[in-house]
Amino acid sequence: MKIAIVQHDIPSSNFLNNMDRLNPLLNQQPGANLYVLPETFATGFMAEGYAGGAAAQSHFMLQWMAYQAMLHHAAVVGSVATKDQEGQLRNRLIFMHPDGKYDYYDKRHLFTFAGETKDYVPGDRRVVVEWCGVRFLLQVCYDLRFPVFSRSRGDYDAIIYVANWPEQRQDAWQTLLKARAIENQCYVIGVNRVGSDDTCKYIGGSVVIDAYGHTIAQCTDGEEEIAIAELDMEQLQRFRQKFPVLADADEFSVL
Nearest to 169 by CA among 137, 208, 199, 139: 199
Would you say residue 48 has pLDDT above 60? no
DSSP for residue 72: H
User: pTM score, two decimals?
Assistant: 0.96
Q: Answer whether 10's CB lies under 8 Å from 195's CB.
A: yes
Question: Which of 48, 118, 141, 178 is the catalytic position?
Answer: 141
Active site residue 130: no
Mean pLDDT within 50-78:
86
Active site residue 141: yes
Active site residue 39: yes
**Residues 151-163: b if buried by 16+ CB within 10 A, e if exposed:** bbeeebbbbbbbb
| 55 pLDDT tier (thresholds 50, 70, 90) | low
Q: Answer whether 169's CB lies under 8 Å from 142's CB.
A: no
Q: 197-224, pLDDT tens digit by residue?
A: 888 999 999 999 999 999 999 999 999 9
First to last CA, the chain: 30
Q: 1-42, pLDDT tens digit by residue?
A: 999 999 999 987 788 889 999 999 999 999 999 999 999 999
Question: Which of 107, 186, 224, 225 is the catalytic position?
Answer: 107
pLDDT of residue 114: 87
3-state secondary structure of 97: coil
Handedness of CA 47, 49, 53, 54 (dihedral sign): positive
3-state secondary structure of 158: strand
What does R_g of the chain's alpha carbons equal in angstroms? Answer: 17
3-state secondary structure of 221: coil
176-179, long-range: CB < 8 A, 24+ apart: 176/144, 176/145, 177/144, 177/207, 177/209, 178/209, 178/213, 179/147
Diameter of the chain by CA atoms?
Answer: 52
Facing residues of 106 across strands? 92
3-state secondary structure of 21: helix
Q: 112-121, pLDDT tens digit by residue?
A: 998 889 889 9
